[in-house]
A and B are shown apart, each in its own frame.
Chain A
């Protein structure tokens, strides 16, 4: 047997493979290292990200599940809660006590009860409903609030981008 973090990650991987949630695929990039995962997230239906398949990587700390993993999109993203370099900023990924934006309540923070599946589902709902109060990408937040049409256009370009289609 191996370390508890590794065993838990293996258990989660098995669970995700056996009962995959809709629109989400995730697993280790390389089965020799269970602490680096890749995930594919489909854009939620009925939103501007519909139809896109967004790849992201998850990096787990050695003391997982006591500390949260880090998640970063590897494709280009334009979203109020995603930094320009693709890092995702949602409260479930923040350990209590570390609050980059200074407004999250500890009730929605990371705890060992959370899992990869819950993180990815939260990210899907984040894609559907951006939180424009958190300023991971201020430009995107501003555009989301004030110029939704332009935002939708950019999102459509990103969606086509992930599918390998030329821009409209």
Chain B
């Protein structure tokens, strides 16, 4: 109703303005000159043109889209506001070229952009609706062809003008239409994928992967275009503020696409290396239904360490987001202890066994880390083990007779890795113990010398840090505990001679100079205790 009213009013105004001009000047050319020179008349003409554009837009929308869904409409309005703001910013850069033709070109650009957005939303909608008729395909295809033609025409035009007359505002148009034509390519690819998918009876598993890589490539192209455009604009005109928001968004979506691809690849790799295929018997026991997609599982099902079974494709999509079992939320990346009712062989294979090894010695890459890659970057570190307790032996299958030859061989492989990991661990423990004994000796020497002669203490404490450097490599780990012990004495005699930040001195009994050996003994005992408990 409002639209009709606006149309009628603007039509009436235009008639009045033109009639007035013709009435005053009586001839065609003078009336045109009069119209273009009078600001109020021009305002009315602009308004009329705007209304006409809207009407054409409505007509085209009716032809190509029919009724817009509320979500589509909201999306359109939201994007239009951004686009209009950016267009106004662009006007400021090119204010010298400001004329009706210039405004008309920008309006046309906005107009075409709006149809690109609508087409994109419509193609996304394909995935959501079970009923896609032939009319839908005809509309989308013809619209995409038309838009692609318009885009390429304007790119060509912009190229010609720039080549013949040097850089002008056509640079912006050429760039904007290039972005739009990339968008068309993206929409076409998506459309083709959805169309193929909807023809097939079985779900198309690699569609998600194809979409991921398309997204990555398209976003990469766009980022390149934006960077090139900004570089050219900075050289010729000034900083193109109006391109910054879309550029930032493109970069963000490129980063997201890249992360998605990385996560997806990781998920696939883990799927292939860590989890066994479910057997037919296991599938039957689990009702044959994949709880993620609620469909039957025939083949390609994977079993997690917690015995839950899913489609490999479904699981892969889920693992891109989260590394837990969808059913029981077991973190599949932590080396899980198989549940008591676990079937022996798969649990043994699925258990990323060496995890306790590298986990116990953080900061030192154990040699077997390459064999089973630490699967995800956000993996929480495995729980620290206290030094007193040896790492628990890997779970043993109930009976070796139930295993097939291949499973046995595979198990032997992991057994060997486990033993190697344990030996490595023991060697490291020994090195650390040697280092700590050495340190304790130095420490006791320092403490016994302390009350008698202060000057010797100073020299000896100076000597200690040098010693620590010379001790084996493993000792680096022990240092945080060693440095405070020596430096707490330095704070008595020669404060902060070393560059080490001093922790608060926690030995009040040391503050008195005349200490007996029993004090030192007590301190040593406590240090030792703390040492064994901390590590």
Contact = CB atoms under 8 A, between A and B. Distances in A.
Interface of A: 1-8, 10-12, 31-35, 62-63, 65-67, 95-97, 106-107, 111-113
Given A32-B131, A66-B317, A113-B327, A1 B200 contact: yes
Interface in B161-211: 194, 197-198, 200-203
Sorted from nearest, which 7 A-B pairs have the closest CB atoms?
A3-B127, A112-B292, A11-B294, A35-B128, A111-B326, A112-B326, A113-B326
Given A1-B202, A1-B203, A6 B294 contact: no
Contact of B314 (A10, A11, A112): A112
A62 B128 contact: yes
Contact of A62 (B69, B124, B327): B124
A6 B128 CA distance: 6
Contacts of B46: none
Interface string B296-339: 00000000000000000010011001101011010000000000
The A contact surface, by secondary structure, is loop
B124 A2 contact: no
Contacts of A113: 291-292, 326-327
Contacts of A106: 324, 329
Contacts of A8: 293-295
B318 A112 contact: yes
Nearest to B321: A66
11 contacts: A1-B197, A2-B130, A6-B129, A10-B130, A33-B125, A33-B129, A34-B129, A35-B128, A97-B322, A107-B329, A111-B329
A6 B291 contact: no
Contacts of A65: 292-293
A96 B200 CA distance: 34
Given A3-B197, A111-B326, 9 more contacts: A1-B197, A1-B198, A1-B200, A5-B127, A11-B294, A35-B128, A66-B321, A111-B327, A113-B292
Contacts of A35: 128
A33 B69 CA distance: 10
Contacts of A63: 317
Given A32-B131, A33-B129, A4 B326 contact: no
Interface of B: 69, 124-125, 127-131, 194, 197-198, 200-203, 291-295, 314, 317-318, 321-322, 324, 326-327, 329
Contacts of A96: 322, 324
A111 B130 CA distance: 25
Contacts of B124: 62
A141 to B, nearest CB: 28
A34 B126 CA distance: 11
Contacts of A4: 203, 293, 314
A111 B318 CA distance: 9
B247 to A, nearest CB: 25
A2 B326 contact: no
A34 B130 contact: yes
Contact of A11 (B197, B200, B202, B295): B295
A34 to B, nearest CB: 6
A141 B415 CA distance: 57
A32 B129 contact: yes
Nearest to B317: A66
Contacts of A112: 291-292, 314, 318, 326
A113 B131 CA distance: 27
Contacts of B317: 63, 66
Nearest to A95: B321
Contacts of A5: 127-128
A35 B130 CA distance: 11
B293 A33 contact: no
A2 B293 CA distance: 13
A5 B207 CA distance: 13
Contacts of A95: 321
A6 B326 contact: no
Given A1-B203, A33-B128, A12 B198 contact: no
Contacts of B127: 2-3, 5-6, 62
A35 B108 CA distance: 34
A111 B201 CA distance: 27
Task: Identify the interface centre among B200, B202, B294, B322: most chain A CB within 10 Å of its CB.
Answer: B294
